[in-house]
Amino acid sequence: MGEITVLLGQARAGDGAAWDRVVQLLYADLKRLARRASVGSGGQDVTALVHDCYLRLDRGGADGIESRAHFLSVAATAMRQLLINHARDRIADKRGGGQSHTTLGKADLDAARMAYSEAEEMVMIDAALKRLGDVDERLVRVLECRLFAGLSEEETALALGLPLRSSQRLWQQARERLRALLDA
């Protein structure tokens, strides 16, 4: 049994220091996940994403988290939710968001259009994932691990407690179904 698994067991038993140690040991992994997840998210700050993710994870604590891989899987879900919320906020800002009107130059407008387009795409992906979750939640979990957390095939299989081949098969199905939902 690995050190993280042992510490998670201690944290579930009420040892707050063990939970802090888990987060400390996995901070670099959270940073890596955030870096991968924030690609194409319109400039989401990686450190802010890690800290927001930590706050979400800390609210739930170690309850139900069994291992390092499971921790990273839960973190991937939290990062997806945070990135979607950030995208929705950007879309709301484009529509006014209670801000005063300012005249922008061409470069500013181009950057704003690109960020808005990325935000709309993120919200569309989220809607497609919700529809996919109604059919097969496992496919959504695989997509979260691979797309939002950037986990490898092996890490995804570990995070979801699946054999590698099953994880690969689900990844293939998930991509095909997501593409079909986005094209519809």
> Residue 19 in contact with residue 59, Cβ under 8 Å?
no
**Residue 138: predicted pLDDT:** 94
Residues contacting 55, CB < 8 A, separation 6+: none
The residue type at 151: L
Residue-number span of the structural domain to which 97 is assigned? 3-183
Other Cβ atoms closer than 10 A to 119 = 23
**Residue 114: predicted pLDDT:** 52
* Percent of the chain's residues with pLDDT above 70: 83
Q: Return per-residue pLDDT of the chain as tens, 184 residues.
A: 789 989 999 999 989 899 999 989 999 988 888 887 776 655 568 888 888 988 888 888 888 888 888 888 888 888 888 888 888 887 776 555 555 555 555 554 454 455 556 778 888 888 999 999 999 999 999 998 888 777 889 989 988 889 999 999 999 999 999 999 988 8
> What is the maximum alpha-carbon separation in the chain?
60
Give dist(CA 72, CA 145) in Å, integer.
8
Instruction: For residue 103, give the DSSP letter.
Output: -
Domain count, the chain: 1
Other Cβ atoms closer than 10 A to 70 = 18
**Residue 136: predicted pLDDT:** 94
- For the stretch 142-167, pLDDT in tens is 998 888 777 889 989 988 889 999 99
> Residue 119 in contact with residue 87, Cβ under 8 Å?
yes
